[in-house]
C-alpha cells in the first residue's frame, strides 16, 4: 500500500476556500475506443475549475497500439529478434508521442496528486512500468498498482502551517466489475467501513457515480457543537466507448455492460462552525460533496 502526504499551498489561489477534485483514468489511448472528444471536455473542465486537484486512476493507454502488437506477435514467434529488443523503446516512444501530450495540460493546470497504475501497463525489464515512466516524465508521484492512502494538506495562507486543514483519500484502480453498477457501490461501501478516510475513489469499471454518507459528530469545543461531514464513495468514470462500429473489442467480446463516458467532480470547501458567543469565530473544517 502506498502512503503519500501532499501539501497544497494556497497562496497561488485567488479563492482559498473552494477546491475541486477531478479524478481521471481509463482513457486507453491507442485503442479505437478512446474518445478524444470527451477527453477534451475533461481538460476544459480542469482548466475552468476552482483550484483544481487531479489524480490518475489507471489505464491511461492501451497496452500496445495495433502496429506494435503485430511486431510483438512476430517477435514472440521468433521471426523478428530486433523487434523484441526494441519493443520497450517503441512503447516508451508511444507514451511520449501519444499519451504525454494528452496528460500534460491536466498536470500543468492542476495540483496532481499522482498516478495509479492499472491493467493496461507494460512492464519494462528495468523493473518499472509504463505508469511509472509517465510519472517520471510528468514529475508527479507514482501511487502504485494496489491501494494508495493520500493525505492532502491545504496550507491556507495567513494561518499557522501546523494547523493546516487536511483530508484523506483512499484511491485504487480496482479489479472486477463490468456488470451492474450495484456491485461497485457495495464494494466501495464495504471499503468505507474499514478505512477512516474522507473519500474513496475507484476507477477501472468505468462506472461513474458519487455517493455521500453523512456523518454526524460533536466538535471538541466547549460547549460541543453538532457537525455533519460527508464521507464520499466515487467510481470515477472513463474516456473509452463501450461499442463502436466495425471494430470488435474485448469489451464487446466479454459482453460487458456499456458505461456512459465522463468524469466526476468533488468540491472541497473550507467551512467554519457557526459563531459561538462573542469571541469565538467558530472552528474551520472541510466539507466535501459533488455539488
Q: Strand order of the sheet with strand 52-56?
A: 111-115, 52-56, 18-21, 266-272, 284-289
Distance between CA atoms of residues 62 and 117, nearest Å: 12
- Is 145 near Fe ion (CB under 5 A)? no
- Is 62 near Fe ion (CB under 5 A)? no
Of 114 and 203, which CB lies nearer to Fe ion in the complex structure? 203
CB of 203 to Fe ion, least distance (A): 7
Q: Find out whether 16 and 10 touch, Cβ atoms under 8 Å.
A: yes
Name the residue among 156, 138, 193, 195 with its Cα closest to residue 172: 195
Of 105 and 178, which CB lies nearer to Fe ion in the complex structure? 178
The enclosing H or E element of 104 equals: helix 100-108
Of 114 and 118, which CB lies nearer to Fe ion in the complex structure? 118
Name the residue among 248, 241, 287 with its Cα closest to residue 21: 287
Rg (alpha carbons) of the chain, rounded to whole number? 21
Please identify which residue in 119, 225, 231, 267 interacts with Fe ion, judged by CB under 5 A. 119
CB of 148 to Fe ion, least distance (A): 15
CB of 250 to Fe ion, least distance (A): 11
CB of 130 to Fe ion, least distance (A): 13
CB of 184 to Fe ion, least distance (A): 13
CB of 237 to Fe ion, least distance (A): 13
**Which residues in 178-207 contact Fe ion (CB under 5 A)?**
204
Q: Using CB under 5 A, which of the segments 36-44, 119-127, 152-160, 192-200 binds Fe ion?
A: 119-127
State how far Cα 64 lies from the chain centre. Answer: 22
Name the residue among 236, 162, 165 with its Cα closest to residue 199: 236
Q: Using CB under 5 A, which of the segments 15-23, 112-120, 188-196, 241-249 binds Fe ion?
A: 112-120
Q: Which residues bind Fe ion (CB under 5 A)?
A: 59, 118-119, 204
Amino acid at each position: 500500500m502506498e502512503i503519500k502526504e501532499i501539501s497544497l499551498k494556497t497562496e497561488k489561489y485567488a479563492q482559498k476556500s473552494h477546491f475541486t477534485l477531478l479524478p481521471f483514468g481509463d482513457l486507453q489511448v491507442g485503442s479505437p475506443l478512446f474518445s478524444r472528444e470527451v477527453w477534451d471536455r475533461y481538460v476544459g473542465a480542469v482548466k475552468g475549475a476552482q483550484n483544481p486537484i487531479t489524480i490518475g486512476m489507471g489505464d491511461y493507454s492501451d497496452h500496445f497500439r495495433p502496429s506494435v502488437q503485430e511486431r510483438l506477435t512476430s517477435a514472440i514467434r521468433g521471426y523478428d529478434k530486433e523487434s523484441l529488443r526494441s519493443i520497450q523503446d517503441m512503447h516508451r516512444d508511444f507514451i511520449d508521442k501519444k499519451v504525454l501530450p494528452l496528460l500534460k495540460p491536466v498536470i500543468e493546470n492542476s495540483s496532481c496528486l499522482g498516478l495509479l497504475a492499472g491493467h493496461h501497463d507494460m512492464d519494462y525489464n528495468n523493473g518499472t512500468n509504463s505508469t511509472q515512466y509517465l510519472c517520471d516524465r510528468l514529475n508527479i508521484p507514482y501511487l502504485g498498482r494496489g491501494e494508495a492512502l493520500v493525505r492532502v494538506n491545504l496550507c491556507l495562507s495567513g494561518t499557522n502551517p501546523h494547523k493546516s486543514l487536511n483530508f484523506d483519500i483512499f484511491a485504487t484502480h480496482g479489479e472486477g466489475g463490468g456488470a451492474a453498477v450495484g456491485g461497485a457501490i457495495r464494494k466501495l461501501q464495504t471499503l468505507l467501513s474499514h478505512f477512516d478516510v474522507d473519500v474513496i475513489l475507484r476507477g477501472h469499471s468505468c462506472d461513474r457515480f458519487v455517493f455521500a454518507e453523512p456523518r454526524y459528530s460533536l466538535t471538541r469545543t466547549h460547549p460541543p457543537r453538532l457537525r455533519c461531514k460527508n464521507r464520499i464513495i466515487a467510481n470515477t468514470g472513463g474516456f473509452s466507448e463501450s461499442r463502436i462500429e466495425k471494430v470488435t473489442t474485448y469489451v464487446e467480446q466479454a459482453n460487458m455492460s456499456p458505461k456512459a463516458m465522463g468524469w466526476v467532480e468533488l468540491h472541497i470547501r473550507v467551512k467554519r462552525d457557526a459563531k459561538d458567543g462573542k469571541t469565538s469565530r467558530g472552528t474551520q473544517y472541510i466539507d466535501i460533496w459533488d455539488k
